[in-house]
């Protein structure tokens, strides 16, 4: 588990405010929390630690920061026990575009004020392929029910991290597999863009002068997360799992530490 040096790649405003993807927030609905800047790490099975912002406890906080610690697979949990399941998101229409916040646009491109000044209402995320991906809770609970597996997990190097306060595993994530960002100015003209270092996109197309026409999403990227479980000496069985292994919605409060809260900074370790 790596938790020494951290790259603030996803560090946007650490205070409550408008969603960075307001249209997408409305479509996904209650329970989902938009990740400030989409990333490739917060997949189902990710181990994260939450820190309250401006309050003594998570329960009292309106905003929480999130630190990625690793994956359950790093702790010896086999892929067969996680058996990540993908599902359709009925509200998401393939090919539809969604507006995104100015801060996100600036962070994606690294060109700061020019995006803020020219593309406040004309920066779009187009989603061509996406899925609601979840850990198979039945498989995981079955694996954990074996005393030998649970003991190995508790006494592994990961056991220390899992036992820390406010440490959870992510059960469910909204992942975009294919899509693109487009940037236009107030007059509708395409802006020249170059992705900022570390942003998981590629450039595509060109306009006059050789400017990049869009930033392409061509790998699985997490845009939102939902449902978490604390370890607390052993994951509590989930009584609300469906036949497919997903947690029924709405999730119990115990699995939703982000309920009613905004995500502030999201920190990811250096590789």
Report pLDDT for 248.
Answer: 53
Angstrom distance (rounded) from CA 107 to CA 99: 15
Picking from 37-46, 80-89, 106-115, 155-164, which range would have the lowest pLDDT averaged per residue?
Answer: 106-115
Domain assignment of residue 93, yes or no:
yes
Q: Tell me if 181 is assigned to some domain.
A: yes
Give me the mean pLDDT over the 231-255 stretch.
54
Residue range 225-235: mean pLDDT, rounded: 75
- The structure tokens listed for 86 are 């993908």
Which residues span the domain enclosing 28? Answer: 6-269
Quick count: other Cβ atoms within 10 Å of Cβ 10? 22
Could you tell me if residue 1 is inside a domain? no
**Res. 4: pLDDT tops 50:** no
Alpha-carbon span 216 to 41, nearest angstrom? 18
Residue 231 has pLDDT above 50, yes or no: yes
Q: 189 near 150, Cβ under 8 Å?
A: no
Based on the structure, what is the number of domains in the chain?
A: 1
Assess if residue 233 is contained within a domain: yes
The per-residue pLDDT of the chain, averaged, comes to: 73
The model's confidence at residue 191, banded by pLDDT at 50, 70 and 90, is: confident
Q: How far apart are CA 135 and CA 198, in angstroms?
A: 27
Looking at residue 24, what is its pLDDT?
A: 83
Phi (first) and psi of residue 268, to 5 degrees: -125, 135
CB count within 10 Å of CB 198 equals 12
Contact (CB, 8 A) for 13 and 240: no
Q: DSSP 3-state assignment of 150?
A: helix
Q: Is the pLDDT reported for residue 9 higher than 50?
A: no
């Amino acid at each position: 588990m790596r938790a020494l040096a951290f790259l603030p790649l996803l560090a946007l405003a650490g205070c409550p405010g408008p969603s960075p993807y307001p249209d997408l927030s409305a479509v996904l609905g209650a329970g989902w929390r938009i990740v400030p800047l989409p990333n490739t790490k917060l997949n189902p099975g990710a181990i994260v630690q939450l820190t309250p912002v401006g309050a003594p406890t998570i329960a009292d906080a309106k905003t929480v920061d999130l630190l990625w610690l690793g994956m359950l697979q790093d702790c010896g949990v086999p892929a067969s026990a996680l058996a990540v399941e993908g599902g359709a998101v009925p509200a998401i229409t393939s090919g539809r575009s969604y507006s995104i916040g100015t801060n996100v646009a600036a962070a994606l491109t690294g060109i700061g004020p020019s995006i803020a000044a020219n593309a406040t209402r004309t920066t779009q995320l187009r989603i061509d392929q996406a899925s609601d991906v979840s850990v198979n809770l039945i498989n995981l609970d079955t694996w954990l029910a074996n005393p030998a597996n649970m003991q190995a997990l508790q006494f592994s190097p990961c056991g220390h991290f899992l036992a820390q306060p406010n440490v959870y595993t992510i059960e469910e994530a909204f992942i975009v597999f294919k899509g693109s960002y487009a940037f236009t100015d107030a007059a509708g003209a395409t802006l020249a863009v170059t992705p900022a270092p570390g942003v998981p996109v590629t450039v595509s197309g060109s306009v006059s002068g050789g400017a990049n026409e869009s930033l392409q999403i061509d790998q699985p990227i997490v845009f939102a997360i939902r449902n978490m479980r604390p370890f607390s000496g052993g994951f509590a069985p989930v009584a609300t799992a469906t036949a497919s292994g997903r947690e029924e919605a709405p999730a119990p409060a115990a699995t939703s530490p982000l309920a009613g809260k905004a995500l502030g900074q999201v920190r990811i370790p250096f590789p």
